[in-house]
Structure 1
């Protein structure tokens, strides 16, 4: 049985794509007879506060599903203040360094990136000839930060670029969730070993159900209500003549969205709050269509929702451009609207009819997902090279 350590900034009971992705990876490796351990901060995402069950703890170690989980101290914060956010990342890095010094580290380590600084800490302190460092890149930073408007091309940005290059250079293998990520890594480190590791889900596919009959198409968004997703702006710009809009999740824009709904009671928008992933899957089956938006096109980004919703048999309207749009079109998973073009988005939505959203069409989408977005097949291919 081979020992392997996964270092991540997100892990259950935290919710979200990053947490689910690493959980499935850890669980999959354990089922393939790896002795898996995980290092992660004390749970705090997305609210930026330590969960009640872990408050007052400096460190918590437990064994769950035969996986040993080390939860380390972090200064939890989701503040918009850049200094506080930087300190939060550095606090976790300090906890990691302390852990590395006082514990034996396996010779196979998977490091999640971003955050860049956390990944840098791992790549710097864990490098040694006998150890294999595997960098799992889910988003391209600092490029994504630049496209989101969080960074400017200045001295600080150039430092982040050097950190990014260092991380790629020191990795023995780079996993990327998109072809754009792998292309970028290869542009910086041409001889680097890379592997396309999509964020495929691993759950039993449900039986497709007919959505509750309604004159309007029931459109749903479920996920993080953050700035990058732009759900508040979506509420402002949607044409509701053909649709009703349902929202699930939590995040920075939650209060703004609730206030908008309160001020516009005539609009068919319903906010359902945040619910567990298992319950959400059941709820999503009630809807005709889901929308996957990004406020701005982000190079390298392919939202994991695409693969999760396809497994549920839920048709999609993709509104983010890039490789995600290519996946939607290539596998006939729904429709795509031009990124950031709300006029085009409304045009696409107005052309969709109830007869386009039948059980038959949903079943075809689910079958496509089961054939092409296979978690276990992908994991088996990864294990060969790990």
Structure 2
């Protein structure tokens, strides 16, 4: 049985796409006869505060489903203050360095990126001719930060670019969630060994709802992080509610603004349901006609994992983010496309959706497409051969 260590910033009981993705990877590798261990901070996302059950600890170790999980100290913060965010990343990097000194590290290590500094710390201290380092890139930083307006092209940005290149250069294998990510890596290091590793989900699907589409207004649902990149607050402001209801599940930086908007504008057909467990969410989603996947701005390299999760549920989608995600929606006929950032076009697209298009047969077809083309275990089998 081959030992493998996964280093990540996010892991359950934290919620969100990043946490789910790494959990499924760890569990999948364990089922493929790898001895898996995980290094992660004390859980704190998305609140920026260490969860109550872990407060006051510098380290917490446990074993779940035969996976050893070591949770390390972090100065937790989700502050908009860049210095505090930097301190948070550096604190976890320090904990990793301390762990590396006192513990035996397996010969194969999967490192999640971003955050860039955490990946850099891991690669810097673990690089060795005898060790295989696998860098799992879910978003392209610092490019994504520049597109989101978090960075400016200054000295700090150039330093982050150098760190990015260091990480790519010293990784033995690079996993990328999109073809755009892999193209970017190969533009810098043409001979780098790469593997397209999509964020395919792995869960038992609830039955597709037998109800017909809503007889009145279309019930559109958004479920996920209420962060800056998703732009849900602006979406709430820009949608035409003449023939739709918008239902929202999740938590994040824009949560309070969204709740205030709803409170101050009761005439808007927006219902906020809070945050619920993933299993309960999957069941709840079956009651809606459509889901919407928005991005405030088109982000190069980004392919929202919601595409694959909703496809597995058989839920038709409205995609509003551009890029490679848009191509996937079109290629597999998973729903409707609106031009990224163009809310007028989004409202036009929604107004043209014929409720008769949302029926059981279409939902079952979407599920079949998912099982055939977005299968987690098929992808993991291919990855296992490269590790």
TM-score of the aligned structures, taking structure 2 as reference length: 0.99
How far apart, in 1, do the equivalents of 2:18 and 2:203 lie? 16
How far apart, in 2, do the equivalents of 1:43 and 1:211 lie? 38
Secondary structure in structure 2 of the residue aligned to 1:198: coil
Secondary structure in structure 2 of the residue aligned to 1:246: strand
Secondary structure in structure 2 of the residue aligned to 1:352: coil
How far did 1:354 drift?
Answer: 1.2
How far did 1:5 drift?
Answer: 0.2
Question: Aligned residue for 2:347?
Answer: 346
How far did 1:214 drift?
Answer: 3.2
How far apart, in 1, do the equivalents of 2:283 and 2:127 lie? 44
Question: Aligned residue for 1:107?
Answer: 107
RMSD over aligned CA atoms reads 0.6
Question: Aligned residue for 2:360?
Answer: 359
**How many pairs were matched up?**
386
Question: Aligned residue for 2:306?
Answer: 305
Question: Aligned residue for 2:44?
Answer: 44
How far apart, in 2, do the equivalents of 1:271 and 1:298 lie? 26
Question: Aligned residue for 2:322?
Answer: 321
How far apart, in 2, do the equivalents of 1:242 and 1:184 lie? 42
How far apart, in 2, do the equivalents of 1:299 and 1:230 lie? 16
Asked if structure 2 preserves the Cα contact closer than 8 Å seen for 1:210 and 1:286, the reply is no
Asked if structure 2 preserves the Cα contact closer than 8 Å seen for 1:303 and 1:324, the reply is yes
Question: Aligned residue for 1:34?
Answer: 34
How far did 1:211 drift?
Answer: 4.1
Asked if structure 2 preserves the Cα contact closer than 8 Å seen for 1:211 and 1:288, the reply is no
Question: Aligned residue for 1:286?
Answer: 287
How far apart, in 1, do the equivalents of 2:91 and 2:337 lie? 41
Which of 21-30 and 212-221 deviates more? 212-221
Question: Aligned residue for 1:91?
Answer: 91
How far apart, in 2, do the equivalents of 1:247 and 1:310 lie? 19
Deviations 1:323-342 (A, max 9, x none): 00000000000001000000
Question: Aligned residue for 1:259?
Answer: 260
Question: Aligned residue for 2:370?
Answer: 369
How far did 1:260 drift?
Answer: 0.4
Question: Aligned residue for 2:77?
Answer: 77
Secondary structure in structure 2 of the residue aligned to 1:104: coil
How far did 1:4 drift?
Answer: 0.2
Question: Aligned residue for 1:202?
Answer: 202
- Give yes or no for the alignment of 1:165 onto 2:165: yes
Report runs of 4+ in structure 1 exceeding 2 Å deviation.
210-214
For structure 1, the residue ranges without an aligned partner over 5 or more in a row are none
Deviations 1:275-320 (A, max 9, x none): 0000000000000000000000000000000000000000000000
Secondary structure in structure 2 of the residue aligned to 1:87: helix
How far apart, in 2, do the equivalents of 1:214 and 1:260 lie? 27
Deviations 1:158-181 (A, max 9, x none): 000000000000000000000000
How far apart, in 1, do the equivalents of 2:354 and 2:92 lie? 49
How far apart, in 2, do the equivalents of 1:104 and 1:211 lie? 55
How far apart, in 2, do the equivalents of 1:204 and 1:278 lie? 9
Secondary structure in structure 1 of the residue aligned to 2:61: strand
